[in-house]
Amino acid sequence: MNRIKEVLEEKGIKQVWLSKKLNKSFSMVNDYCNNRRQPSLELLFDIAKLLDVEVKDLIKDKK
């Protein structure tokens, strides 16, 4: 599970912006944000860099 959606909301960033920056479709980013699909580790690092957060901040604890 990831926290991409929560971090985007905290920062006031839209999924459309992230999809353009990643050169991915909105549908793909929306799937990441809603945990229907998980990004690769490499992509997770790219997302963290774009959002100016640590990778660990994008990952939910399974508790």
Task: Give the model confidence (pLDDT) of 27-40 as tens digits.
Answer: 999 999 999 999 99
CATH architecture assigned to 4-53 = Orthogonal Bundle (1.10)
Cα 26 to the center of its chain, rounded Å: 12
Say yes or no to pLDDT of 47 above 90: yes
Query: pTM value?
Result: 0.92
CA distance 42 to 50: 13
Query: Which amino acid, residue 59?
Result: I
Name residue 2's beta-bridge partners. Answer: 59
**33, 4 Cβ separation under 8 angstroms:** yes
**4, 32 Cβ separation under 8 angstroms:** yes
Say yes or no to pLDDT of 53 above 90: yes
